Amino acid sequence: MEINKLAIVFESYKQKNHILTNIILPYKSFMEGFFSVEIREKNKLKGYNIEFINGQVFDFASKEFISELYYNKYAIKKDTLVEISKSLSYYTEIKNKIIILEVGSIFISDPVYSSNFIKLLSSDKKIIIFTPKQKEIISTIRKLDDLFLCELSKKTLEVVKKVVDKWLGETISKIEII
């Protein structure tokens, strides 16, 4: 069976960003999607932004603003969550692109995101999924028969880089350029 989905389970944002910056984003002209970016001030985590492949950046979760939605100590921008959820629906329709997405507890707490995420996973789209180490999410995506899962850590960084680079090269070579 062809591997349509590549899941990268990460322990640290530093390692995730290394894979994104050095291996994945150089191919961004073949991609759609989004990922989270830590917001730090003096090495203290203040929150998260969502960055779309097209360069748009949205405030997402912060200790410094007030919202009707909260996850742990973070206020969640509902408009951003709605935008992310809608984008998943759009990604099911597009052709000839690799989809980059991130899934975590904040995202799956939204029923629209969860529903659209499951529809996207059920498709034969080429997808790279970033997820923090969370049992519920990992056990769900492991059930996909067209998925390869990589656990990213200091020890596995070099191997994961090679796996991602090989998968991207093979996948991009099959994409029809329109």
What CATH number did the domain enclosing 79 receive? 3.40.50.300
Would residue 15 count as lying in a domain? yes
Would residue 50 count as lying in a domain? yes
> C-alpha distances in angstroms, 173 versus 84, 86, 92, 154, 177?
28, 29, 21, 29, 10
Residue that has been written with the tokens 């360069």 in this structure: 55
Tell me the pTM: 0.92
CA 106 – CA 36 distance, rounded (Å): 11
Could you tell me where the beta strands, DSSP code E, fall in the chain?
5-10, 31-41, 44-52, 57-62, 69-71, 74-76, 98-102, 126-132, 147-152
Would residue 178 count as lying in a domain? no
At 136 the pLDDT is 84
In this structure, what token pair is assigned to residue 110? 């939204």
Task: State the DSSP code for 4.
Answer: -
Pairing mode, strands 69-71 and 31-41:
unpaired
Q: What is the pLDDT of residues 110-130, one digit of tens each?
A: 889 999 999 999 999 999 999
Would residue 67 count as lying in a domain? yes
At 20 the pLDDT is 95
In this structure, what token pair is assigned to residue 123? 């498709």
Instruction: State the total domains in the chain.
Output: 1
The domain in which residue 97 lies consists of 5-173
- Could you count the other beta carbons within 10 Å of the beta carbon of residue 88? 24
**Sheet of strand 57-62: strand arrangement:** 69-71, 74-76, 57-62, 44-52, 31-41, 98-102, 126-132, 5-10, 147-152
Would residue 17 count as lying in a domain? yes
At 178 the pLDDT is 47
CA 98 – CA 100 distance, rounded (Å): 7
Would residue 122 count as lying in a domain? yes
CA 158 – CA 1 distance, rounded (Å): 25
- The backbone region for 142, taken as left when phi is positive above 0, alpha when psi lies in -120 to 50, beta otherwise, is alpha
Give the chain's residues under pLDDT 50. Answer: 178
